[in-house]
Structure 1
Amino acid sequence: MDQLLAMRTFVRIAESGTFAKAADQLSLPRSTVSKLIADLEDHLGTKLIQRTTRTATVTPEGAEYYERISRLINELQDIDAAARQTKAQPKGRLRVDIGSSLANLILIPALGDFQERYPDVDIRLGVSDRPVDLVSENVDCVIRGGALSDTTLIARRICELDYVTCATVAYVERHGMPNHPTDIETGHNVLSYFSSLTGKAFPLLFRKGDEAYEISARSMAAVNESTAHMTAVVAGLGMSQTFRFMAQPYLDEGTLVPMLEDWGRSFHPLYVVYPPNRHLNARVRVFVDWVTDVFARFDAGKTAAAETRSTPYFTSI
């Protein structure tokens, strides 16, 4: 048995859903494809695929095997490409994970441009505010914000996001406008955003000069997904702090009004992060360069720090 060919064949079947499509993609006779899978299952001692007259369904054991070998096959393709020093268009599957609001408002609207540039790259976009494990979940890269603690990963800073404290006009009419951050602790209802990992709500943060406040006020509702959090703010469920790029359309139309504008909050850094073994992956390289350009348009810190901050670079974190 040609084990590498059998593994490639299994990956094609798992992704296409039929033996016939896999055979066509690999330019192999269908009988050869069937024989390769049978030999591979015998070699492993487990059933990888449940086959019907029309479709092929991966078994639970096959799904686990696929997660491991698809990553291996992609790495082999990258090694081959690097050895040939090819300048061909990147191709293959690219798994990207990103938070909900960043996906819906920034990345997805721009994704058509990436498809036009790299039509042979198959983007698989995981969208949630839940942190993922890149290695165990076979993710090529993620877009993450805030402090990065995993020193085994590679990160590139792509922008810094600004915050705004805001509420609906109706909320302000009911509760008034706070004049100082501490006013929020008495007489105001905060719509909180809480961590999907710890379940704890994030406080509101304010700074002005040498003064800084961390406010944890009464909350009648809390949300752990960014798009839903913005929807809840617009619905008038409470005042909150959110990314300015999300709130700006509602501020422009007058649905939301800003609060405590003379108080700021430190910018929120965003990074595109990937495992070290993806460094030579052509798909990852072109995506990282492209997504850096996309998010540069939302970089609130770019103008303020242009004289002191160098161009983003690849670094261990």
Structure 2
Amino acid sequence: MDQLLAIKAFSRVVESGSFTRAADSLNMPKATLSKLVQELEAHLSVRLLQRTTRRVTVTAEGREYYEKALRILRDLEDIDACFNALRSKPRGHLRVDIGGSTARDILIPLLPDFFDRYPDITLDLGVSDRPVNLISDNVDCVIRGGPLADSSLIARLIGHATLITCATPAYLKASGVPAYPDELRNGHRLVSYLSPLTGKPFPLRFERQGEKVEITSAHRIGVNESNGHLAAGLAGLGIIQTFSYSLSSILRRGDMVEILRDWRPAGYPFHLVYPQNRHVTQRLRVFIDWLVARFPARVAGEGESGT
């Protein structure tokens, strides 16, 4: 038995909750991975995992073994990373998950610079506003806006975005320009951004001189993806609230007009998030450092007119 490989196989099953996902993430056949775990259990004379046709659960002994083995794996990875960093450039494969408009307007336009700096790194982007499970989906990191719900993850604040409320000139000509947020409750059509996780609309948020207002009036249309949400606003379906980085060129062209500028809410936080039980590889480290240096100005819309 290759004990180190067996430990890696067992640990990945624990992290992903599935033999199939664990085998995929390690690029080995499921039968090979299953045999490695069985050999490890025989070697230890203890049951580490309980298997049924529907699920895999970790035994108490398996949980204890995983926690001890994880420290060993981290130490070995740190040793490898230290020596690799001394003699080689960052290389390998990264999987990054990011929301639709943030990918389109922020990350993808920056990527030529990243690949110029690190030509030996390949990148797979999962572009969706729906949250992913970093462990079971084998994602290296995610870039997300808003409050963080999972305290088991490591999060690094990478910037704040400006939320802007706007509508098309045709809509405002027909419906009037609101002077106060409360006017949105009476007669105005709203295009809501729906939570991709719950399906519930996010309220429109406003703030001025310490006064905070949230508008949760019924919407004419709700969209659970950021690019579609913006498209609905551009089509004149109603008033939207979205990020300035998606609106800069649209506002410059006059396709939409900002309203309630004095009521812009506080900056919306964006974080880069990765699992705390996953080793930070050299390629992930350079990606994080690069993004921290480049992301804040772009997400804040610095140097862009019209916002």
Q: What TM-score do you get using the length of structure 1 for normalisation?
A: 0.71
2: distance between equivalents of 1:126 and 1:198?
20
Inter-CA distance 264–81: structure 2 relative to 1 (3 Å threshold): closer
> 1:88 aligns to what?
88
1:157-200 residue CA offsets vs partner (Å, 9 max, x unmatched)? 11100011100011011111011111111110000001111111
CA positional deviation for 1:81: 3.0
Q: Which runs of 4+ in 1 moved over 3 A?
A: 1-8, 39-45, 74-79, 277-280, 299-303
2: distance between equivalents of 1:105 and 1:218?
29
Matches within 5 A, 1:129-278: 129-278=129-278
Task: Give 3-state SS (helix, strand or coil) of 1:154's partner.
Answer: strand
CA positional deviation for 1:208: 1.1
CA positional deviation for 1:120: 1.6
Number of corresponding residues: 256
Matches within 5 A, 1:4-43: 40=32, 43=35
Matches within 5 A, 1:36-115: 40=32, 43=35, 79-83=79-83, 86-115=86-115
CA positional deviation for 1:275: 1.4
CA positional deviation for 1:79: 4.5
1:230-289 residue CA offsets vs partner (Å, 9 max, x unmatched)? 111111111011101111211111110111112121110111111124454111110001
1:12-36 residue CA offsets vs partner (Å, 9 max, x unmatched)? xx89x9xxxxxxxxxxxxxxxxxx9
1: distance between equivalents of 2:243 and 2:167?
13
> 2:295 aligns to what?
295
1: distance between equivalents of 2:124 and 2:79?
22
Task: Give 3-state SS (helix, strand or coil) of 1:293's partner.
Answer: helix
- State the percentage of identical aligned residues: 48
1: distance between equivalents of 2:102 and 2:301?
17
2: distance between equivalents of 1:236 and 1:294?
33
2: distance between equivalents of 1:301 and 1:167?
19
Task: Give 3-state SS (helix, strand or coil) of 2:105's partner.
Answer: helix
Task: Give 3-state SS (helix, strand or coil) of 2:262's partner.
Answer: coil
CA positional deviation for 1:93: 1.2
> 2:121 aligns to what?
121
> 1:27 aligns to what?
none
> 2:19 aligns to what?
none
Q: Judge conservation of contact 1:97–1:141 (CA < 8 Å) in 2.
A: yes
Q: Judge conservation of contact 1:188–1:217 (CA < 8 Å) in 2.
A: no
1: distance between equivalents of 2:177 and 2:164?
14
2: distance between equivalents of 1:156 and 1:87?
28
Q: Judge conservation of contact 1:189–1:220 (CA < 8 Å) in 2.
A: yes
Please, which runs of 5 or more residues in structure 2 have no aligned partner? 10-23, 38-69
Q: Which amino acid aligns with 1:157?
A: L
Q: Which amino acid aligns with 1:108?
A: I
CA RMSD of aligned residues (A): 3.4
Inter-CA distance 94–77: structure 2 relative to 1 (3 Å threshold): farther
CA positional deviation for 1:41: 8.2
